[in-house]
Copies of this chain bind each other. A is one copy, B any other.
Amino acid sequence: MPAEYLRPLLIDNGTKIVLLLLDGLGGLPVQPGGPTELEHAATPNMDRLAAEGALGQTVPIRPGVTPGSGPAHLALFGYDPIEHVVGRGALEATGVGLEVRPGDVAARGNFCTLDAHGRITDRRAGRISTADAAPLVERLQTIAVPGVEFSVRHVREYRFAIVLRGDGLSDEIPDTDPQQTGLAPLAVAASQPRAEKAAACYQQWVDRARELLADEPKANGITLRGFGTDPVLPKFHDAYGLRAACVAVYPMYRGVSQLVGMDVIHFGGDTPKDEFAAAAAHLQDYDFFFIHIKKTDSKGEDGDFEGKAQVIEGVDQALPQLLELQPDVLLITGDHSTPARMKTHSWHPVPFLLWAPARALPDQQTRFGERFCALGGLGTFPAIETMPLALAHAGRLVKYGA
């Protein structure tokens, strides 16, 4: 829940805030004494902003806790992810345009390959192409389960999203993906009695899907993950007085933005320039732009140190285009670290750059990078304090008390 004490302090002064999020930005050196990905990247524009603004580092969830993408974004948006648990299925379904109402039960679906005994031989159905998978999803859309309503939409490749609507449903259902081959998908089973109806409906749906897919060579099975519902979060406009928009390529990030009340800007392309152009096209419509860059995280997960540095450089090169919009506050940070060396998310504090020419207190740091951020004037702080800092530097918070 965004801090209640902020609400009486909010004013609308017409200022613009941009949160430029490089997913998984934080990194690690690959050799002792060496640079991190961000330190290695040539980032003259970010370095200039670092020199003019203030640096710091955020703790995404709690010290030592490695965040998933959903919790990490919620924290940046000001919602404590320990307090607000959101099933990733709800984020992804929302992100692909399926409506998830409170009480609905959403999930992420994967096509998988089963052998004659029903055991998984490929958890991603040979990474079946989008073109091949789309007609299969259409087939799944025909499944009817009496008394409830299912909505299914393709995401990409082997992945789809699904939403169950009806009375008396609950989302306490563990993943059915056994996480390894050689085992059958798990039954859809409630972990709480109140979720038994939802689990039974989902099991009927899966059984019917198995029949419809029986003759498919690759995608003849289904696993379900990330069961969740709309957690009914306070909306961004109510919490912060901001008309907020999301510019993101991936459904999951659009989904989490929508659950906190942001509009999603639709656009073509997937480069930083495309994303900045999308924001520019709607500059007058919004006060707050959340711009999400995915590929830093993807390259980190691939263990591609150079590739991740190059993505950062690409963002840096496009940055002048974003600065032309003359944001009053520009935040550049990540939702968590994804060090190429670890090939996965990590708990390490995340580099944070705050540029606000009218109001920032500069520090002594002149470059954007982990070691500089550790010495930055904003200190080390919980990610949920990002929004209050943004609002303050935009001049959108009046004095507390007299």
Interface set of A (CB-CB < 8 Å, partner B): 3, 5-6, 9, 26, 28-29, 32-33, 36, 52, 57, 61-71, 81-82, 85-86, 88, 225-226, 337, 342, 344-349, 359, 361-364, 370-371, 374-381, 385, 388-393, 397-402
With a cutoff of 8 Å between Cβ atoms, the chain B residues found around residue A376 in the complex are: 374
Inter-chain contact A397/B362, CB cutoff 8 Å: no
| 12 more A-B residue pairs beyond the given contacts A63-B392, A67-B399, A379-B380, with a C-beta to C-beta distance below 8 A | A3-B62, A57-B377, A57-B379, A64-B391, A64-B393, A67-B400, A67-B401, A68-B400, A68-B402, A70-B402, A71-B400, A380-B381
With a cutoff of 8 Å between Cβ atoms, the chain B residues found around residue A380 in the complex are: 378-381
Inter-chain contact B359/A364, CB cutoff 8 Å: no
Q: Which residue of chain B has the shortest Cβ distance to A394 in the bound complex?
A: B64
Provide the bound-state CA to CA distance between A3 and B62, in Å: 10
Q: Which residue of chain B has the shortest Cβ distance to A392 in the bound complex?
A: B64
With a cutoff of 8 Å between Cβ atoms, the chain B residues found around residue A348 in the complex are: 361
Identical copies in the complex: 2
| Among candidates B85, B374, B392, residue contacting A379 with C-beta atoms closer than 8 Å | B374
| Among candidates B6, B85, B337, B392, residue contacting A401 with C-beta atoms closer than 8 Å | B85
Closest 6 pairs (CB-CB, A-B): A379-B380, A64-B388, A64-B392, A68-B401, A71-B401, A374-B377
Provide the bound-state CA to CA distance between A9 and B62, in Å: 13
Q: Which residue of chain B has the shortest Cβ distance to A32 in the bound complex?
A: B52
Provide the bound-state CA to CA distance between A364 and B70, in Å: 31
With a cutoff of 8 Å between Cβ atoms, the chain B residues found around residue A32 in the complex are: 52, 362
Main secondary structure of the interface of A (DSSP, over half): loop
Q: Which residue of chain B has the shortest Cβ distance to A398 in the bound complex?
A: B66
With a cutoff of 8 Å between Cβ atoms, the chain B residues found around residue A9 in the complex are: 65
**14 A-B interface contacts by CB (under 8 A):** A32-B52, A63-B381, A63-B388, A64-B385, A64-B388, A64-B392, A65-B392, A88-B402, A225-B402, A347-B397, A348-B361, A349-B361, A374-B379, A380-B381
| Of listed A61, A342, A402, residue having the most chain B CB within 10 A | A402
Given contacts A225-B402, A400-B81, A401-B81, contact A66 B374 (CB under 8 A): no
Q: Which residue of chain B has the shortest Cβ distance to A388 in the bound complex?
A: B64
Q: Which residue of chain B has the shortest Cβ distance to A56 in the bound complex?
A: B380
Minimum distance in angstroms from A285 CB to a CB of chain B: 25
Provide the bound-state CA to CA distance between A345 and B401, in Å: 11
Provide the bound-state CA to CA distance between A362 and B26, in Å: 12
Provide the bound-state CA to CA distance between A359 and B390, in Å: 31
Given contacts A64-B385, A388-B63, contact A371 B362 (CB under 8 A): yes
Provide the bound-state CA to CA distance between A231 and B68, in Å: 35
Provide the bound-state CA to CA distance between A84 and B347, in Å: 28
Given contacts A376-B374, A381-B380, A400-B71, contact A28 B63 (CB under 8 A): no
Provide the bound-state CA to CA distance between A346 and B29, in Å: 37
With a cutoff of 8 Å between Cβ atoms, the chain B residues found around residue A225 in the complex are: 402
Inter-chain contact A88/B401, CB cutoff 8 Å: yes
Minimum distance in angstroms from A46 CB to a CB of chain B: 17
| Among candidates B28, B86, B226, B364, residue contacting A375 with C-beta atoms closer than 8 Å | B364
Given contacts A82-B5, A392-B347, A401-B81, contact A379 B377 (CB under 8 A): no
Q: Which residue of chain B has the shortest Cβ distance to A28 in the bound complex?
A: B361
With a cutoff of 8 Å between Cβ atoms, the chain B residues found around residue A28 in the complex are: 359, 361
